[in-house]
Amino acid sequence: MRPKQSAQKLNRVINAWQTLAPDKSFGGMTLPRFKAVAQGAQDAVASLHEIEDRRTQAINQRDDAFVAFFRKVELVVNGVCADPTEGPDSALYEAMGHTRKSERKTGRTRKRPPTPNP
């Protein structure tokens, strides 16, 4: 049984027992004793939910930090481009992961005439 289904089954059994026969004992257990046994599983599920929430929060913090970082990267790269001793054709610009201006392709394409089909 999958964890989500297990948790649902646990809650369903407790709710049914509590609603329909709270004073009866089954399997040698009373409802309070059964709830005590089930508490370990419920605590583990709650712990996993907390871990998942913290993971989600950490991912969001990481993503926000990268957004702020890349804004600053853009400023630095633009500064390198504007620097008279470096510029967009410098080795520094290329080392930062960009294509030097002199190495860029023009974008011009030359269309070949269609070849006749024999």
Break the chain into its structural domains and give their ranges. Answer: 3-103
pLDDT value of residue 118:
65
Mean pLDDT (the chain) is 91
Report the distance separating Cα 55 and Cα 18, nearest Å.
35
Task: Dump pLDDT digits (tens) for 66-116.
Answer: 999 999 999 999 999 999 999 999 999 999 999 998 888 877 777 888 887
Q: Tell me if 7 sits within 8 A of 45, measured CB to CB.
A: yes
Q: Exposed/middle/buried for 15, CB within 10 Å: 0-12, 13-18, 19+?
A: exposed
Separation CA 79–CA 90 (nearest Å): 12
Name the pTM for this structure: 0.60
Query: Distance (Å, rounded) from C-alpha 99 to C-alpha 91?
Result: 10
